[in-house]
Chain A
Amino acid sequence: MSRQYQFKLVLLGESAVGKSSLVLRFVKDQFDDYRESTIGAAFLTQTVQLDDQTTIRFEIWDTAGQERYKSLAPMYYRNANCAVVVYDITQSASLEKARSWIRELQRQADPSIIIALCGNKTDLEARRQVTQEEAKKYAEEEGLMWCEASAKTGEGVQDIFMAIAKKLPLSAPQSQKGQARAGGQPRGVDLSSKPAAEQDGCNC
C-alpha cells in the first residue's frame, strides 16, 4: 500500500536571491528571467516520489514579501517541517542575511525542523562571491543541509527537495496538520464543505 505524507516547507532568504524561482523550477520546471518580487502565488504544492511505496507532498510557503521589513508572522514558521534558506552565490551579503534567518528559525521554529541552506545562481559562476567551502563549513557547524543550485538551468533543484524528503521523519510525529493528513483522517473542520441542509437554498 502506498502512502502519502504531507510536510510544510517554508522558504526564506533575502529579496531577489531566487526563492520563488527555485519553487517555480521545482513545481513547474519553468524559469523567468524577469521575475518580479513575489506577488500572487505564494502557496504551492508538489509531490516527490521517495520510493514506490512512499510519496512526499510538500506544501510550500513563500514569504510573500512580509519578511522585507521584518514583519513575517509567526504563523509562517508554525508547524514548518522543513525550511530552505536561500542565498545568492554572487552576493556575499545574502549569506549574511541567510545566517540571520537561520538564527531566527532556531529561535522560533519547531526544534525538529530540517533546515537546508541553499546557494542559488550557480550559472553565474564567473561572478561568484561566496565560496563553497565557506558556506559548507558554516552549514556543518550549524548542523544544516547544504547545497547549491541554479533555478535558471535547473541544476541541483530537484536534488534539494529530494534530499529533504529523504531526511524527513516518516514515523516520528510530524506537525499536527501533516500527521492528520498522512493518517488519512480528516484534519480539523473543513469550513468550505457545505452542509447537506444548506446545499440548495444557499445564495452565497
Chain B
Amino acid sequence: MDEEYDVIVLGTGLTECILSGLLSVEGKKVLHMDRNDYYGGDSASLNLTQLYRKFRPDQAPPAELGRDRDYAIDLIPKFIIASGELTKILVHTNVTRYLEFKQIAGSFVYRDGRISKVPSTEMEAVKSPLMGLFEKRRAKQFFEFLQNWKDDDPATHQGRNLDTEPMESIYAYFKLEPGTQDFIGHAMALYLDDDYKKKPARQTYNRIILYTSSMARWGKSPYLYPLYGLGELPQAFARLSAIYGGTYMLDKKVDEIVLDSQGKFVGVRSGDETVKAKQVIGDPSYFGAGATGAGAGKMRVVEEHKVVRAICILKHPIPGTDDSDSAQIIIPQNQVGRRNDIYIAMVSSTHNVCSKDIYVAIVSTIIETDKPELEIRPGLELLGPIHEKFVSISPLFTPTSSGKEDNIFITRSYDATSHFETVVEDVQDVWKRVMGSDLVLKEREIEPTE
C-alpha cells in the first residue's frame, strides 16, 4: 500500500459512494475504505441476522419471519423523488443498469385523526375527503396559479411576487384553510416544520412543482424505490467507482487521520500502514462523531439534533391505505401538536425487502422531548398490531469546517427528510469544497460496450 491516491473516502454510505463514483469518473485516483464488512454505513439495508445483531445482540431472529436472505431492512427510511436530483444522477452515471426500481404505491397524509391519499390525479382530488367543496375550488385556483406561473409573463402572476412575498401571504391570497396549508406544505412541499411560511414563496413553489411533476411521471405516487432495499444504491455507485479504477477495502480499521505539522491532511493510518492522499472525504463517524474518551481522535463534527426511528415489522398492510404494498404517510406537526412532522415509510415483499406477507414500516421524527418513543406514538398507532419493533435514536452531525484549510471534507448525517434531495445537496456541497467548482453532470460517453 505505498501507492498514493488523490482522494481517500471513508465510509460507504450513499453520500460517500456517489462522491467516490463521480470522482473516479472524473479521473481521480480513489481509495474507498469502510470499517464495516458490508457496504452502506448508516444507509445500509440489513438482513435479519444483521438487524438482530445490531438491535438485539443476545437474540436470534425468530424462524417464523422467514429466510434471512429475503430481508433488506433499511436503517434510514427514504424514498426517491421521481423527478428529483438523485434520479438525475442515477440516469447520468448510468448506474440504473445495476438497479431495478418500483413505485411506492401511495402517499398519504394525516388530517383530523385519519389518513387520506394525497391526490395523484384531478379525479382523486375532486373525490378526496381532504377538503370540503368550497375549499376544493380554492385549492384548484391555487394549483392552477402555480402551474400557469411564468416568470417572464406578469399576466400569470395575479399581482403576486414569489421572490419577495412569504408563502403565508400566498396562502392568504387564495384563502386556504390551515388544514389545507398543512397538507400542501408538508405532504407536497415536504417541509418538516412550518418555518417555510415566513420565507419567500419561491422555494415552496419549486417544491410543489417537483412533487406534481414527479407524481405525473408514473402516477400513483411521486416516489420510487430500488428493489432489494436502499442499500443497493451505495453498492451501485461503488461499482461505478470501481469500474473507473476506484480501489475498495471493506472491513478495514481506520485508526488515525494523519496530519502534517501545519495540521493538513497527509494520510490515513490503519494498523501500522499509512496510506497517503491529497484529500480525504468521510462520514461523521470517522471524524469524532459518537466517539468518546481518549484516543477518539479530534472532534470535527457537531450534533445538530436527534432523530428517533422505529423499524416496525407488521404482518398486515397499514390500515386505511387500501392495502397498499408500500406507502408514505406524513403526519403534519400541527395535526398532533408538534414542531416537526412524523413520517411513516412502508415497503414490503413487492420490493424484495422481506418475506411474503410481511410489511416493514419505519416511523421517524426529529426529537423534541426526552421521551422520543412517546413522540412517535401517533405514527405507531396508525400501524395496527406491531409484530416486532426496533427503536434507535441517532444524533445528526454536521462538519465544523469546510476542509479548505486541512483538506478534510466531511459529509453530513442522513437527516429526517423522507427523500434523498438533501443527500444530493450534500454531495454537491462536498464536491464543490473538494474540487473547487460546481458539480456539473456532463453527458458522458456511455461505456463503449453498450
Contacts and interface: CB of A to CB of B under 8 A. Distances in A.
Partners in one complex: yes
A198 interface: yes
A35 B62 CA distance: 50
B390 interface: no
A188 B248 contact: no
A73 B101 contact: no
Contacts of B39: 73-74
A133 to B, nearest CB: 36
A192 B96 contact: yes
Contacts of A71: 248-251
A195 B216 contact: yes
20 contacts: A39-B245, A40-B243, A40-B244, A41-B449, A42-B243, A43-B449, A45-B449, A66-B238, A66-B239, A66-B242, A71-B250, A75-B98, A75-B239, A78-B228, A176-B100, A189-B101, A189-B103, A191-B87, A191-B91, A195-B217
B244 A204 contact: no
A177 interface: yes
A137 interface: no
A188 B213 CA distance: 19
Interface string B233-277: 001101100111101111110000000000000000000000000
B440 to A, nearest CB: 11
Interface string A147-191: 000000000000000000000000000001100000000011111
A70 B447 contact: no
B97 interface: yes
A197 B251 CA distance: 46
Contacts of B245: 39, 65
Contacts of A38: 243
A140 to B, nearest CB: 27
A135 interface: no
A34 interface: no
A68 interface: yes
Interface of A: 27, 38-45, 64-66, 68-71, 73-76, 78, 176-177, 187-192, 195, 197-198, 204
B88 interface: yes
Contacts of B418: none
B44 to A, nearest CB: 10
Interface in B51-101: 83, 87-88, 90-91, 96-98, 100-101
B132 interface: no
Given A177-B100, A189-B224, A198 B448 contact: no
B450 A43 contact: yes
Contacts of B239: 42, 64, 66, 73, 75-76
A190 B227 CA distance: 13
B352 interface: yes
A27 B100 contact: no
B102 interface: yes
A131 B216 CA distance: 62
B156 to A, nearest CB: 15
A74 B352 CA distance: 14
A191 B96 contact: yes
B248 A69 contact: yes
B232 interface: yes
B218 interface: yes
Nearest to A175: B100
Contacts of B102: 188-189
Given A71-B249, A176-B227, A44 B449 contact: yes
A68 to B, nearest CB: 7
Nearest to B236: A75
A40 B244 CA distance: 5
A41 B448 contact: yes
B252 to A, nearest CB: 8
B110 to A, nearest CB: 27
Contacts of A66: 238-239, 242, 248
Contact of A191 (B90, B232, B238): B90
